Structure 1
Amino acid sequence: MNFDITDAAPEHKAGFSTGARDDYDELRQTFEEFKAANDERLAVIEHKRGDVLLEEKVDRINRALDAQHRRLDDLALRQARPSIDGIRRQPRDGVAREHKSAFDAYVRAGDVDGLRQIETKAMSVGSNADGGYLVPVELEHAINQRVMAISPIRSIASVREISGNVYKKPFMTAGPATGWVGETDARTQTTSATFDALSFPAMELYAMPAATATLLDDSAVDLDQWIASEVELVFAMQEGAAFVAGDGVNKPKGFLSYTTMANASWSWGNLGYIASGAAGAFAASNPSDVLIDLIYSLKAGYRQNGSFVMNRKTQATIRKFKDSTGAYLWQPPAQAGGRATLMTFPLVEAEDMPDIAANALALAFGDFQRGYLIVDRVGVRVLRDPYSAKPYVLFYTTKRVGGGVQDFEAIKLLKMAVS
């Protein structure tokens, strides 16, 4: 098997490219070789014989699987990113066309008159506290869609747009008294429901791409496309880290930052965890049993829409697990552009999840659409700065994003510990 994973330019056709289909076929072929080599390794272990070369072979194929999976993800991502040109071809009203023209003049030459007139007509101030002007609506939507395509938690969480700085979601802490009574029995007066609210403040996220004067003067360059492509990866990386482990200080609060407790004694406001059964590792015998415990720690209503979340190193370890019939629990995507599955549930790769280590919360399972809420404040702003980094022009691009757990029953964690 040749493990050269250099990325050749794919031939684009309708649907997925030829390159993506070839990579998908190669991924499945490599997984078959991985299973054969791992089965041989397990047979050697069962007979109490060590084979260093065989261990290295399994690890090499495992790394090749990761590399091929990553390349397939990259190809699928490039085709999933929306084209701003396609959005631009949609009908616009006069205000949208005027905004686009004024924004182009601002980005290319620093002309602010057009944007000031538009925002004055809209009865809004020309800039926020940090300066900058609102980008055209189609550019804002394109940035958000591109970030969603590459941000792992955003792709499975619930997302809500807000116009203010804080979103408050009420929830019931005590419901009205209810019960069964006979037809002629006296009814006692019921108590009123008691409510509380979870707050999700939107924090400022920024990127600062730089352009040369030559780029700005080139009328063939699509500046909307350039800005979106420059900020998408930065936004996605910062969001991804915050949604997983953000401390809530000037950033969203990640689901791993909440107080955790053993699932047997779980209470609202905390996230429950299942212990792996060994310090910093899976149990030596029947290691996959804890994954079953994790799945069934969720109520049925959440479990049916559950997803596993882990990083690639953890996935490489779990890829070796088999059930009692000898079938591998990890399976490659069923089609090009799909997700790998673990015990039939989708597997989401989030590199900000911890590696397997003592007491690490290395794996999560849950209905993240119900469990984690992301709030996007409407409006992406750009501030043109031609002075700070001469001869380059900086574009201070900001958006406001918040996030946090909204349903503490919907997400469970796996802790690499004895108990």
Structure 2
Amino acid sequence: MTEARALDLLEVRFDAGDDTGLIEGFAARFDEADSYGDVIERGAFAASLAEHRAAETMPVMLWSHDPADAIGRWDAIEETGEGLKVRGRLNLDVQRAREARSLIQSGAVSGLSIGFRVRKALAGAGGARTVREIELHEISIVSLPAAKRARVTSIRSADVSAEQEASMAEVQTGAAPDKGGNEEITLQAVAERVDKIEEILTRNEIRSQRPGAQTKAEEGIEARAFTGFVRRGREALAVDEVRALVVADDTAGGYLAPAEFQKELLRNLVEVSPVRQAARVSSTAAGSVILPKRSAAPTASWVGETEDRPETAPAYGQVEIFVHEAAAYIDVSTKLLEDSALNVTNELAFDFAEEFGRIEGLAFLKGDGVKKPRGLMAHGDVASVPNGHATNLASDALINLMHALPAFYRNRGAWLMNAGTIGTVRKLKTGGGDYIWRDGLADGNPPTILGRPVIEAPDMDAVADGTYPILFGDIQSAYRIVDKVAVSILRDPYSQATKGLVRFHARRRTGGDVVKAEAIRKLKMAVS
């Protein structure tokens, strides 16, 4: 069960004159009960923070728990005597981050909320818990009203609608105190009913903060201007709409897509691009990203009481991920653009995501790093495990592949293979006659092989002599995708005008590379 919780008595420090986007505050307080009576103990985050350090990861910085709305990064997270202290930096190249910065400066937003899963807790009276260990996923900046009842937000996956309806019924039908036939409602009775109504309203507002919850916001001037540009062109826009368009910084011209379009594009990309589903994705405004890489582990040794201690320091290097440009164009009929019933921007976002997803899906797997990302299967440091036979896939080979990884990566691993290989694996059985494939038991749950999820990647090799049809491992730790956030759109109404079409050119920049080859293994179809 994943929860999100906004801190009461929040303290956020933000320098209004600082253009670097630095932010600091407490994301959780220890030994303080929230509105549900839950208390987080000191040290509850220690294990999760240690795991993040070992994997060289950090919880992501989101806006209101929306996984498609990354607005920066957390640079430092530590437990203090008071609580979980965080320090990070907003990515001011992202429109949502600039909006968040402005809201924080004005005092309209003052909330930090953690997305987490409870690992260990002691149950108390009335459903309250003493939380002893937490798996920290993300820390969001959230909008909290000044009202006290909305200060603490604890979002639970359990359905509380029945409880809410019962509470509402109790409020609506509760009888006044019996005073010998006098039906006068006392001030105390009114206060009790108001408290119950406030509790119901609080739970409704808590639901609105749940990760994934969506509310339909009024379309901003930037979105309206971009939609008008797509349908009719720049010449037909009003003066204020032309001013709202942001000119792209590329020499080919065009305009930057608004945040709503970019969010829809990225959401669709995740559905189309298989590696993007599993890898760690971040954004940058630069042409490349340099990440630290540990090239040698520390070595410990036994020594005597007065003997010299040998050097045990690990060796560190760097991995530089370059951002490459991808371009695509789509032809749309003039009649469709004139049809007001068509949400043309959503259609463009889906079509471009489908095309970008196709080319980046191949590059993230087999790209050679020349004008494109370097892929998982193309990196020379990724080790392989032999199948034991050149053409016949065996269940024992999958077991060997899985257990070739350390437990930390194995327990977080996923399988990558194409549809043909999936069809072969579904027929494999263990020595006891059980199929190693298991379909998901609930909607949204992926199928599993040996207990780990399967991701279908159409660009993986087929089962044949000398190929690598299967990859297994902790892809999130092993592979990093870096997106240049801006997407520019160029409207060309001339080149296809004789066919009644308008051509839209789009360009975006993305990069990817293996940062931890030891976290994954690939299966080679060979005897040894």
Scaled by the length of structure 1, the TM-score of the pair is 0.68
Q: State the alpha-carbon separation in 2 of the partners of residues 145 and 166 from structure 1.
A: 23
1:172-251 correspondence to structure 2 within 5 Å: 172-174=294-296, 185=306, 194-251=315-372
Q: 2:194 aligned with 1:89, yes or no?
A: no
Which residue of 1 is the match for residue 384 of structure 2?
A: 273
Q: What is the deviation of 1:230?
A: 1.8
Amino acid in the other structure paired with 2:509: R
Structure 1 residues 251-271: Cα deviation after superposition (integer angstroms, max 9, x where no partner): 111111122xxxxxxxxxx11
Q: 2:468 aligned with 1:361, yes or no?
A: yes
Correspondence for 2:487 among 367, 371, 380: 380
Residues 281 and 417, structure 1, Cα contact 8 Å, conserved in 2: no
Correspondence for 2:378 among 253, 257, 262: 257
Which residue of 2 is the match for residue 10 of structure 1?
A: none
Amino acid in the other structure paired with 2:522: L
When residues 235 and 88 of structure 1 are mapped into structure 2, their CA distance, relative to the original with a 3 A threshold, is: farther
Q: State the alpha-carbon separation in 2 of the partners of residues 303 and 352 from structure 1.
A: 23
Q: What residue ranges of structure 1 are gaps of 5+ in the alignment?
A: 1-85, 260-269
Correspondence for 2:252 among 116, 122, 130: 130
When residues 190 and 344 of structure 1 are mapped into structure 2, their CA distance, relative to the original with a 3 A threshold, is: closer
Q: State the alpha-carbon separation in 2 of the partners of residues 229 and 177 from structure 1.
A: 51
Q: State the alpha-carbon separation in 1 of the partners of residues 298 and 432 from structure 2.
A: 49
Residues 280 and 360, structure 1, Cα contact 8 Å, conserved in 2: no
User: Which range moved further: 104-113 or 383-392?
Assistant: 104-113
1:73-152 correspondence to structure 2 within 5 Å: 89-90=216-217, 97-111=220-234, 117-118=243-244, 126-152=248-274
SS in 2 for 1:327: coil
When residues 197 and 116 of structure 1 are mapped into structure 2, their CA distance, relative to the original with a 3 A threshold, is: farther
SS in 1 for 2:222: helix
Q: 2:294 aligned with 1:294, yes or no?
A: no
Residues 311 and 354, structure 1, Cα contact 8 Å, conserved in 2: yes
Amino acid in the other structure paired with 1:108: R
When residues 165 and 115 of structure 1 are mapped into structure 2, their CA distance, relative to the original with a 3 A threshold, is: farther
Residues 225 and 245, structure 2, Cα contact 8 Å, conserved in 1: no
SS in 2 for 1:361: coil
Q: State the alpha-carbon separation in 2 of the partners of residues 401 and 350 from structure 1.
A: 19
SS in 2 for 1:289: helix
Aligned Cα RMSD in Å? 2.5
Q: What is the deviation of 1:396?
A: 0.5
Q: Which runs of 4+ in 1 moved over 2 A?
A: 86-92, 112-120, 172-182, 184-195, 212-221
Q: What is the deviation of 1:247?
A: 1.8
Q: 2:438 aligned with 1:331, yes or no?
A: yes
Amino acid in the other structure paired with 1:401: T
Q: State the alpha-carbon separation in 1 of the partners of residues 421 and 308 from structure 2.
A: 56
SS in 2 for 1:403: strand
Amino acid in the other structure paired with 1:169: L
Q: What is the deviation of 1:208?
A: 1.2
Q: What is the deviation of 1:119?
A: 6.6
Residues 87 and 138, structure 1, Cα contact 8 Å, conserved in 2: no
Which residue of 2 is the match for residue 170 of structure 1?
A: 292
When residues 190 and 136 of structure 1 are mapped into structure 2, their CA distance, relative to the original with a 3 A threshold, is: same
Q: What is the deviation of 1:400?
A: 1.0
Which residue of 2 is the match for residue 316 of structure 1?
A: 423
Percent identity reads 34
Q: State the alpha-carbon separation in 2 of the partners of residues 156 and 189 from structure 1.
A: 40
Q: State the alpha-carbon separation in 2 of the partners of residues 114 and 181 from structure 1.
A: 75
Residues 88 and 138, structure 1, Cα contact 8 Å, conserved in 2: no
SS in 1 for 2:317: strand
Amino acid in the other structure paired with 1:106: F
Q: State the alpha-carbon separation in 2 of the partners of residues 114 and 406 from structure 1.
A: 46
Residues 115 and 133, structure 1, Cα contact 8 Å, conserved in 2: no
Amino acid in the other structure paired with 1:400: R
SS in 1 for 2:444: coil
Correspondence for 2:516 among 407, 412, 415: 407
Q: State the alpha-carbon separation in 1 of the partners of residues 300 and 436 from structure 2.
A: 44
Q: State the alpha-carbon separation in 1 of the partners of residues 288 and 369 from structure 2.
A: 13
Q: State the alpha-carbon separation in 1 of the partners of residues 396 and 479 from structure 2.
A: 26
Q: What is the deviation of 1:321?
A: 1.3
SS in 2 for 1:252: coil
Residues 230 and 345, structure 2, Cα contact 8 Å, conserved in 1: no
Q: State the alpha-carbon separation in 1 of the partners of residues 526 and 303 from structure 2.
A: 49
User: Which range moved further: 207-216 or 110-119?
Assistant: 110-119
Residues 233 and 491, structure 2, Cα contact 8 Å, conserved in 1: yes
SS in 2 for 1:278: coil
Residues 223 and 260, structure 2, Cα contact 8 Å, conserved in 1: no
Residues 296 and 314, structure 2, Cα contact 8 Å, conserved in 1: yes
Q: What residue ranges of structure 2 are gaps of 5+ in the alignment?
A: 1-212
When residues 325 and 176 of structure 1 are mapped into structure 2, their CA distance, relative to the original with a 3 A threshold, is: closer
Q: What is the deviation of 1:218?
A: 2.7
When residues 320 and 220 of structure 1 are mapped into structure 2, their CA distance, relative to the original with a 3 A threshold, is: closer
Residues 116 and 126, structure 1, Cα contact 8 Å, conserved in 2: no
1:9-48 correspondence to structure 2 within 5 Å: none
Q: What is the deviation of 1:344?
A: 1.3
Amino acid in the other structure paired with 1:247: D
Which residue of 1 is the match for residue 144 of structure 2?
A: none
Q: State the alpha-carbon separation in 1 of the partners of residues 319 and 402 from structure 2.
A: 26
Residues 158 and 372, structure 1, Cα contact 8 Å, conserved in 2: yes
More helix by share: 1
SS in 1 for 2:234: coil
Amino acid in the other structure paired with 1:311: N
Task: Compare relative contact order (CA 8 Å, sep 6+) and give the higher one, 1 or 2.
Answer: 1
- Report the number of matched residues: 311
Scaled by the length of structure 2, the TM-score of the pair is 0.55
Q: 2:523 aligned with 1:396, yes or no?
A: no
Q: State the alpha-carbon separation in 2 of the partners of residues 368 and 200 from structure 1.
A: 16
Residues 388 and 527, structure 2, Cα contact 8 Å, conserved in 1: yes
Q: What is the deviation of 1:221?
A: 2.4
